[in-house]
Amino acid sequence: MSRTLLVVSAPTVDVKIVGGRLIREVGGPALYAGAAASLLGWEVYAVGPIGHVTLETVHVEGILGIRRICCKTSSQGFQFELVYKADKRSVSLLSKGPPLGEDDVLEHIYTIRPDAVLVSPVYSEIPPQLPTTIYQRIPCTALDVQGYHRSGLKSALPAGSAAIVHGSPGELEGLRGDEARLMVETSGYGPLRVLARGRTVFRLRRPRGGLLEDPTGAGDVFTFILMTLICRGWGLVEAVEEASALVFELLPRVHEAIRSVRVS
């Protein structure tokens, strides 16, 4: 019997500037987490505002087994400019879409009845109160706060927003600690730490596996896997180590699958 994942997040187009060279790439948490889930045999759905520019991303998602079921808008959709200089990256918003309504999400939760939900705003498309509404209905819910951090909406998150909250270094700062039972901070190839009630309870110096050639999407895949393991009753330490190992195994396959669609 297949398991079902719902990803609440907008598709994106990322305009990367690397060494003066401009590269357009499809992106977004639903693409990376959803493709990984599909490789593991999950049935995957996605909800989030679609713009006419990000239809390209939705097309790629569909080929990779991600069914984008909502919501077309008249906007361009979410586009970001990523500028890489040396080992630093700056991100700026080029265009965005409208926020999701509560009914846009709940309608599909009642229809799909997902086993797990990953809420991962890319900017401001998910109202801060909506994760709590989802979590009250689906106990296996994880939240990535990157979009709230980018848009300045992080402080509006209420208590009980998800079972697990994920962020990169700096993105969990300012949270009270009651937004989730567990908070996990990952830093690419670097240390990983788990917090409960705002205090660090576990650290992993380096994720299991080797160094990834391209870590794009690693946080999305890690959050999805960790959520599912915790929801299945795995112990915290074992779940964190297993999730980090599976990211090393799965992410290159996800990248290859995306590249194969783009080339064809």
Whole-angstrom CA distances from 173 to 166, 190, 201, 222, 246 are: 12, 18, 16, 20, 27
Contact at 8 Å (CB) between 248 and 209? yes
pTM of the model: 0.95
Give mean pLDDT in consecutive 10-residue pieces for the chain, a chain of 264 residues: 91 87 92 98 98 97 97 97 79 95 95 97 97 98 97 96 96 94 87 89 81 85 97 95 93 94 64
| CA 9 centroid distance within chain | 7
The string of DSSP codes covering 67-86 is EEEEEE-SS--EEEEEEEET
What is the distance between the alpha carbons of residues 264 and 259, in angstroms, rounded to a whole number? 8
Which secondary structure element, helix H or strand E, spans residue 37, and what is its range? helix 29-39
* Confidence (pLDDT) at 263: 53
Contacts of 263 (CB under 8 A, 6+ apart): none
* Confidence (pLDDT) at 90: 85
Contact at 8 Å (CB) between 147 and 30? no
What is the distance between the alpha carbons of residues 32 and 216, in angstroms, rounded to a whole number? 9
Measured between alpha carbons, how far apart are the two ends of the chain, in Å? 32
What is the distance between the alpha carbons of residues 230 and 163, in angstroms, rounded to a whole number? 9
